[in-house]
Structure 1
Amino acid sequence: MTQAVQLYRSHVLFLSQSFFIKDNRAELLLHAHKYDFDILFFDDVSRFVEAVAGDNGDNLYVIDLDALHNMQADMPDGRRTLMLGELLQRLPADHSYVYLQSARQGSRFLLQQRLVDSHCLAYAEKPIANDVFVDKLFNLFVQKKRGDLVRMVVLGEAGLDEDWLLQRRVEVLRHADAYTLHLRVKELQPDLVLVTDTEYRRTDAIVRVLQKNIEADPVREIALLQCRPDLALSRRALADGFDAVLAAGEPGLLEAQLLSRANKIRINKDLIGKDRATGLLNKVGLQKKAQDLIRRAAHEGCPLALGVIDIDKFKTINDTWGHYFGDIVIKRLSLTLAPQMGESDLLSRFGGEEFVMVFWNCDLEQGRRRIDALRQAFCAIPFEVAPGDLRHFSFSGGVACYPEYRSENELFLRADAMLYVAKQSGRNRICAEETGRQCALAR
């Protein structure tokens, strides 16, 4: 395909002399591409080490331990087998590695110990199916990207080092009244709620009120901070619905425990709220973040523009050139849209060939103009559907604005209605409510 930009966001650098997967390399690549990453294969240790050393650390580095046997390692004594210790010494120490091993190797605890003590990100046992292996690698990509802010509401005096946590992207918000905690949680939608044992003793229904709300965030954790050891209280707290009981201890220990839980929350939010093929928000992730953005807009008095776009005649694209080519069109569109999003903007692959974006501090006409510029950029991309046969594709879109429409659902329904107007008007255009009658001119 003709590509003006790199098609895949991430890469796996893979050292393996003989192809270990039970199927074949082409199938492994096909699965990886659907998850928006590519695999670069190496059968030479020196070239692999050089490639890893020159990489920025955002990718994954996979080593099949069986590659150490019968591999030319450029050893001065002419040996063709590279010892594990020699490989570990060669690997750049500022990166982490995924090790693949046989069942026999996996049964040796000392080998596992050596691997996990040698910059090990993860290890896996062969044989492993292509789709399972790729899914696990995708999860590792998610774990490596932990930048989202985690918001934590604290009920009671916890004595936390709030500056230390904020530097690690964990924001602490204090609340003093147990009887209004459920309202504060509803307003702020925090990722983590910490309740001291003193407050829990006073009002033991706190956690039940939070957990039984049908709109409760499934990723949110509610933890009890136990300042004084009390086994009976811990058991009762877990029975009431607390997700964890954390002990106050040496300075910094509680903060480290909270940071560990925050990192796991980030991973779970990404796995639940991200589209695996593009890395963009999915429906679940968009809904949560859009609601947060609307609350912020209401507080700061800023407008928002929500746009819904849909690739024109996408079924024809799939039927004519295949679903794999359709996936490439979707990826190229996501790569066209993503760089144009501001820090406070949202972008989601809402489903199939449909995308949703939310622009911060942007009125209706500004939103329509921004999406129309994206439409023109996408239309300019040439796709080589066959040797020498270049085609261009388009999308249509609709826009709605906050505060004219107050909720995420109202905004989406209005923008989606305007998308329908754009499709009915001939496609390849963006319509907003005020410009609906003239949207056919925005070609």
Structure 2
Amino acid sequence: MTSEASLYRHTVLYLCQSFFIKDNRAELLLHAHKYDFDIRFFSELAQFVAAVEADRGNSLFVIDLDTLHNMQADLQDARKTLMLGELLARLPPGHSYVYLQSSRQGSRFLLQQRLVDSHCLAYAEKPIANDVLVDKLFNLFVQSKRGDAVTLVTLGLPGSLDDATLRDQRIDVSYHADPSTLHLRVKELQPDLVLIPDSDYLRVDALARVMQKNIEADPVREIVLLQRRPDDALARRALGDGFDAVLPDTGSGMLEAQLANRAAKIRVNKDLIGKDRATGLLNKVGLRRKTQDLIRQATLEDKPLAFGVIDIDKFKTINDTWGHHFGDIVIKRLCLCLAPQMGERDLLSRFGGEEFVVVFWDCTLAQAWPRLDALRTAFGAIAFQVAPGDQRRFSFSGGLAAFPAQRSENELFVQADAMLYTAKQDGRNRICPAPRA
């Protein structure tokens, strides 16, 4: 196999008991690799501390507190129990840690308080299944990223919000003056947040219902009532009318701070819903939304788009011959081959299984073919060691479609998928339609 050192985007440094490592390491690693991260295990505090200090990447640091009972305070100390205070004092500053603890430890509130006051990113109670632990760690990786900008549409005139503060929090604000056409503006911009002042809600109480009943409404979108005058009855009514939250406008930047907190949660939810956990790429849900956004921008700026569907050739044979773990490595290698060649406004998605989608911004069909064909050649040059002394190379086929010849995301996919089928029928390891001579 090719080296796995660079296959995984993230790393967990894990300080735990040696018997835990022996019993659970293989299964824990298998789950982690499926979620695109690796785990390095440590049973000695000094080695763990050195690894944390040397880390320069986007790693998580996990500590099983049961190690306190099986670890000497230092090499010269004969004690078998390391005190919690000694552990916390030895951990490198400037980092946050995930603590695993027993149910007995978890029942002690003062212990929880001490942990959360000591650079605690999160804590979990054991026993915890390996797949559950890995899923929670993956969520923490997602939360650690800033993510895409969050879009906010608000009823009102420009200047009613502190735009500069919101921009610093990666929130893009659009203003709209007419409540009766707000649903059209939301349909056009597909924002993540919609902010409606209480005065507008009092005039048109169906605003949230009209937006939410649209079958194409984004499930992550939040519709928020901005309450300038305290009124509990009005707030309860708004929540019954489909608003997701009520935010009081108390001045002094509180509204912007509350919007920033909501935007952070929306980012995480969008990543969890719209990203493939095994590769970190867009999944079907994320691709659909991003492609629709790109089509809107291409329409406004009069730019072409190229839409490509890629499928690894004979992938079932790869899995059946060398196992699904090896198939996962082939998929990750393809990701590593494709991702660096994507432009800032291009899209890359793992559509499902061994099928991927690329969308090239400001790119015609004639320009897209050599780009995708070069990626096909690069992937085909990667040597995979399937057994000692036995190296194999694999290939993919691709189909292309173009906007504006195909107007919608669905039309683009159907056309590109048809071209992919043609490429498979013509012998695989090629991109269709090929350029005319």
TM-score, L = length of structure 1: 0.95
State the match for 1:377 in structure 2: 378
Quick check: 2:369–2:435 contact (8 Å CA) kept in 1? no
Q: Is the 8 A contact 1:156 1:198 kept in 2?
A: no
| Cα deviations by residue, 1:182-201 (Å, 9 ceiling, x for unpaired) | 00000000000000001111
Query: Aligned with 1:134: secondary structure?
Result: helix
Give the aligned partner of residue 329 of structure 2: 328
Q: Residue 110 of structure 1 aligns to a residue in which SS?
A: helix
CA distance in 2, matches of 1:54, 1:168: 30
Gaps of 5+ in 1: 439-443
Shift of 1:53: 1.5
Judged with a 3 Å threshold, the aligned counterparts in structure 2 of structure 1 residues 332 and 176 are, in CA distance, closer, same or farther, namely same
Cα distance change, pair 102–22 in 1 and its aligned pair in 2 (3 A)? farther
2:145 paired residue number? 145
Task: For 1:6-405, list aligned pairs within 5 A.
Answer: 6-20=6-20, 24-56=24-56, 58-74=58-74, 77-156=77-156, 159-405=160-406
Deviations 1:110-138 (A, max 9, x none): 00011111111110001111111111111
Structural RMSD (CA): 1.6
Amino acid of the residue matched to residue 105 of structure 1?
Q
Write the distance in 1 (CA, Å) between the matches of 2:3 and 2:380: 13
Gaps of 5+ in 2: none
CA 1:338 to 1:415, structure 2 compared with 1: closer, same or farther past 3 Å? same
Q: Does 1:417 align with 2:408?
A: no
Map Cα deviations across residues 213-263 of structure 1 (whole Å, 9 max, x no partner): 111000000000100100010000000000000011141211111111101
Q: Deviations over 1:371-416 (max 9, x none)?
A: 1111111111111111111000000001111111111111111111
Q: Deviations along 1:68-87, whole A, 9 cap, x unmatched?
A: 22213326544332211122
- Matched positions, count: 436
Question: One-letter code of the match for 1:230?
Answer: D
Structure 1 Cα separation of the partners of residues 352 and 21 of structure 2 = 31
- The amino acid across from 1:7 in the alignment is L
| Paired AA for residue 308 in structure 2 | G
Secondary structure of 1:235's match?
A: helix
| Residues 25-69 of structure 1: CA deviation (Å, up to 9, x unaligned) | 101110111111100001111111111112125111100001122
1:86-125: per-residue Cα shift (whole Å, max 9, x none)?
A: 2212222221111000000000000001111111111000
Partner residue, 1:441: none
Letter in structure 2 aligned against 1:41: F
Q: Which amino acid aligns with 2:409?
A: E
In the alignment, the residues of structure 1 paired with residue 80 and residue 367 of structure 2 have an alpha-carbon distance, to the nearest angstrom, of 64
Q: Secondary structure of the equivalent of 2:70?
A: coil
Q: Cα offset for 1:3?
A: 2.9
Distance 1:223 1:39, change over 3 A: same
TM-score for both structures, normalised by structure 2: 0.97
Partner of 1:69, secondary structure, is helix
CA-to-partner distance for each residue in 1:268-289, whole Å, 9 max, x for gaps?
1111100011010000000000
Q: Which moved more, 1:102-111 or 1:406-415?
A: 406-415
After the TM superposition, which parts of structure 1 deviate over 6 Å for at least 4 consecutive aligned residues?
A: none
148 and 305 in structure 1: CA distance in 2 versus 1, 3 angstrom threshold:
same
State the alpha-carbon separation in 1 of the partners of residues 219 and 160 from structure 2: 27
| Identical residues among aligned pairs (%) | 73
Distance 2:264 2:75 in 1: 42
Point out the more displaced range, 317-326 or 151-160: 151-160
